[in-house]
Amino acid sequence: MRKTMTLSIILAAALGCSALALAGPGGQGGGFGGGFHGHHGGGFMELRGLNLTDAQKAQVKQIVQQSFTQLKPQFQAVRQQRQAFEAMAPNASGYQAAAASLAQAEANLTSARITSRAAVTAQIYTSVLTSTQQSQYTAQKAAFQARQAQWQQFKAEHPVQSTSTTSAQQ
């Protein structure tokens, strides 16, 4: 049971990360775009199982593409800033200032990405999904949250020993 739950969580995290890692301008990687809207009714795993029509899928794709288009310049700017920072030597003048500036740019991008994702989700929920699909969405979300709570409880009751402790006991 625990291995299945762990595998499920790892796969879910990998899918979520791969959508962003593999996405990018023109689907070339390194950003927020191509792969983000290419899977499961717009890249939104929570839409899986709602039996979206082709027209609904097209609407979702358009909404997500619009969102990506709005955020793309900010992603590109942060990517350039990150590359410039990584090219700096740690003893270079302005290294710490560049690190602080990059951290702030990353924080701003994260805020914009999360806010955009929420706006996209709300727009899809209210203008694309039928009332039946909205009910299914809500039920699926509640079931997912219940599974997460069970998993957290299980982990708390069955802590994993660290490898150093296990190695020392052998």
Whether 29 and 23 have beta carbons less than 8 Å apart is answered as yes
Whether 121 and 44 have beta carbons less than 8 Å apart is answered as yes
User: What local confidence, expressed as pLDDT, does residue 89 receive?
Assistant: 93
> DSSP letter at 22?
S
Predicted confidence (pLDDT) at residue 145 exceeds the cutoff of 50:
yes
Mean pLDDT, the chain, integer: 77
Model confidence, pTM: 0.60
Residue with tokens 């802590």: 159
Q: In the structure encoding, which two tokens stand for residue 148, read together?
A: 């997460």
Percentage with pLDDT > 90 across the chain: 46
Question: For 57-91, what is each residue's pLDDT tens digit?
Answer: 899 999 999 999 999 999 999 999 999 999 999 99
Predicted confidence (pLDDT) at residue 49 exceeds the cutoff of 90:
no
pLDDT band at 35 (very low <50, low <70, confident <90, very high): very low
User: What local confidence, expressed as pLDDT, does residue 101 receive?
Assistant: 94
User: What local confidence, expressed as pLDDT, does residue 69 receive?
Assistant: 93
User: What local confidence, expressed as pLDDT, does residue 50 receive?
Assistant: 85
pLDDT band at 164 (very low <50, low <70, confident <90, very high): low
From residue 5, how far is each of 10, 70, 142, 145 by CA, in Å?
Answer: 9, 36, 17, 14
Whether 47 and 40 have beta carbons less than 8 Å apart is answered as yes
